Amino acid sequence: MAISATPPASDFIRDIIAHDHASGKNSGLVVCRFPPEPNGYLHLGHAKSICLNFGVAAENNGCCHLRFDDTNPSKEETEYVDAIMADVRWLGFDWGEHLYYASNYFQLMHDYAVTLIKMGKAYVCSLSADEIRSYRGTLTEPGRESPFRNRTVAENLDLFARMRAGEFAEGSHVLRAKIDMSSGNVNLRDPVIYRILKASHHRTGEAWCIYPMYDYAHCISDSIEQITHSLCTLEFEDHRPLYDWFLDQLRIFHPRQIEFARLNLSYTVLSKRKLIKLVTRGHVAGWDDPRLPTLAGIRRRGYPPAAIRAFCGRIGMAKSNSVVDMALLEHIIREDLNEQAPRALAVLRPLKVVITNYPADQVEEVTVPNHPNRPELGTRQVTFSREIFIEQDDFMEVPTKKFFRLVPGGEVRLRSAYFITCNEVIKNGEGEIKELRCTYDPASRGGASPDGRKVKGTLHWVSAAHALPAEVRLYDRLFTVASPDSEAGAEFTDHLNPASLETLANCRVEPSLAAASPESSFQFERLGYFCVDRHDAKPDRLVFNRTVTLRDSWTKIDK
């Protein structure tokens, strides 16, 4: 339980809710909701909202509903609702029996609309979409009233009934709230609350041909579910007067809407629109591509859900637009994995080493700790033999000054095994290093020399004859610039990192990894954290995804 036990943050929303809870408002109940529209996959921005809503509810002994905001059948699909539920569960939250759909309330919403019409607060407008737009005015000029604004209640009732009955074509009529065409807040200039859409709905099928708009549907859904605190992002602040207006007119349970800043993360994009573009244009390999900030993507990448929760707790909650540094996310991922992940030896770019004084027919087992800081996780036996592989990067024929790995004539330790000294460099015709000839010190078994001799470097290794082949996918940041969104005059895809994925097909890993289950994480010593790909790994085919590298002060040294 490494970092998952991050104490719940205090923030302006929690302050408000704690105050309401303590003062007995809503009988002391706290009910929140996470209301995704099933038209795309969830991403880290949603994770912030999920952690907030479910977290705050739990902290106040309340509950949090999962409600699909499915009021636009032309964009929504069952595939998305299934994916969303799987992602929320994976993140570690449980909505219990509180699974809802805005579409469940279509009849009630319809009836409330009729009520509004009877109150003279809503009317059927027969202007075209373009006309409505021009009547709306601009940000600085008031709008003009629709010529249909003063239809009689009877006429409105008749027209609305016929809209519902399917008598009219899409776009021919809408139902509008009658509020104030001169309001400085454009949302209040007689907003459309129902439109005709002859589309099949993923839940209600052909039952309806008129569908409610967000502003109308959301507040009513919240009210029906007795949501006490309706938390949403900043861009809905302008809609709050409308949210309040409907509930006040209808005199029904009135939740409080509170807005917070959405999450932005450097070196990636967190907008549904952009993510869809990356997927459909083939810049990535689907919604769960490990380079994507989608929950499905980071899951496949190996980010632990507990770390994501810790991240959401640590970034804070405020109303100022901000961009969280990707380095913070990576730090928290490492923090969790450092504690949780068992260590393993894996060589990504193998360089053969022959230990000339090691008997050709000898094989032995060396004992390697599974976790340096957690002895209770035990040890394992790893096979050592005359021919091994080390990392190509761990040898330099002509070393730079601060390089303390293997060099000609130099001695290093093979982790948990022996000290070896390089005696000879074998090259091919092109001058490429093909093999190293070394000698080992039999007295240094386990990695320490009885004479107290010190070596500066310790290398990871695998036995050539015993190691298993594996494919390793090295993932890096998706974009090369911190803010791909806001680079002036450029499309965000212009900044895609061409090196965001490097696939290594010829890696060698220690044999114990054959038993690793899908999605399990390991630290490949000195390299980083890797997880077994949940889709492509098979019993006879090892595939690992690099979650994140280890912090590496060596690459920062001026070589």
Computed on alpha carbons and rounded to an integer, the radius of gyration of the chain in Å comes to 31
Q: Which two tokens stand for residue 29?
A: 């109940």
User: Using the rule CB under 7 A, is 203 a contact of RNA?
Assistant: no
Q: How far is the CB of 551 from RNA (least distance, A)?
A: 4
Interface with RNA (CB under 7 A), residue from 69, 87, 289, 391:
69
Q: How far is the CB of 158 from RNA (least distance, A)?
A: 18
Angle at 395 between CA 392 and CA 396, to 5 degrees: 120
Which candidate in 121, 272, 352, 445 is catalytic?
A: 272
Which candidate in 121, 262, 477, 534 is catalytic?
A: 262
User: Using the rule CB under 7 A, is 161 a contact of RNA?
Assistant: no
Q: Which two tokens stand for residue 104?
A: 């469940």
User: Using the rule CB under 7 A, is 318 a contact of RNA?
Assistant: yes
User: Using the rule CB under 7 A, is 331 a contact of RNA?
Assistant: yes
Q: How far is the CB of 225 from RNA (least distance, A)?
A: 15
Which residue pairs from 222-226 have beta carbons closer than 8 angstroms and sit at least 24 positions apart in sequence? 222/33, 222/255, 223/247, 223/250, 223/252, 223/253, 223/254, 223/255, 224/105, 224/108, 224/253, 225/31, 225/33, 225/65, 225/67, 225/100, 226/29, 226/31, 226/253, 226/255
User: Using the rule CB under 7 A, is 488 a contact of RNA?
Assistant: no
Query: What kind and span of H or E run contains 368?
Result: strand 363-369
User: Using the rule CB under 7 A, is 500 a contact of RNA?
Assistant: no
Interface with RNA (CB under 7 A), residue from 19, 89, 118, 133:
133
Q: How far is the CB of 540 from RNA (least distance, A)?
A: 28
- Cβ closest to RNA, residue 236 vs residue 289: 236
Decide if 391 contacts 459 (C-beta within 8 A). yes
Strands (E), 36-189: 63-68, 99-101, 122-125, 174-177
Which candidate in 14, 33, 37, 334 is catalytic?
A: 37
Interface with RNA (CB under 7 A), residue from 16, 85, 114, 323:
323
User: Using the rule CB under 7 A, is 200 a contact of RNA?
Assistant: no
Interface with RNA (CB under 7 A), residue from 404, 433, 464, 476:
404
- Cβ closest to RNA, residue 141 vs residue 430: 141
Pairing of strands 174-177, 256-260: unpaired
- Cβ closest to RNA, residue 289 vs residue 495: 495
With contacts defined by CB under 7 A, name the span among 112-120, 446-454, 471-479, 488-496 that binds RNA. 446-454
Q: What burial letters (b/e) apply to 310-334, b meaning 16+ CB within 10 Å?
A: bbbbebebeeeeeebebeebbbbbb
Interface with RNA (CB under 7 A), residue from 373, 428, 429, 540:
373
Is residue 272 part of the annotated active site? The answer reads: yes
User: Using the rule CB under 7 A, is 497 a contact of RNA?
Assistant: no
Residues 511-530, mask of contacts with RNA (x by CB under 7 A): ------------x-xx----
User: Using the rule CB under 7 A, is 236 a contact of RNA?
Assistant: yes
Angle at 287 between CA 285 and CA 291, to 5 degrees: 65
User: Using the rule CB under 7 A, is 235 a contact of RNA?
Assistant: yes
- Cβ closest to RNA, residue 235 vs residue 248: 235
What is the footprint of RNA within residues 239-268 (CB under 7 A)? 239, 261, 266
Q: How far is the CB of 199 from RNA (least distance, A)?
A: 10
* Sign of the CA dihedral with 297 first, then 525, 549, and 420 last: negative
Q: Which two tokens stand for residue 392?
A: 């190509």
With contacts defined by CB under 7 A, name the span among 21-29, 56-64, 113-121, 127-135 that binds RNA. 127-135
- Cβ closest to RNA, residue 372 vs residue 518: 372
Decide if 544 contacts 520 (C-beta within 8 A). no
Angle at 187 between CA 120 and CA 323, to 5 degrees: 155
Q: Which two tokens stand for residue 72?
A: 């636009």
Catalytic residues: 37, 262, 272
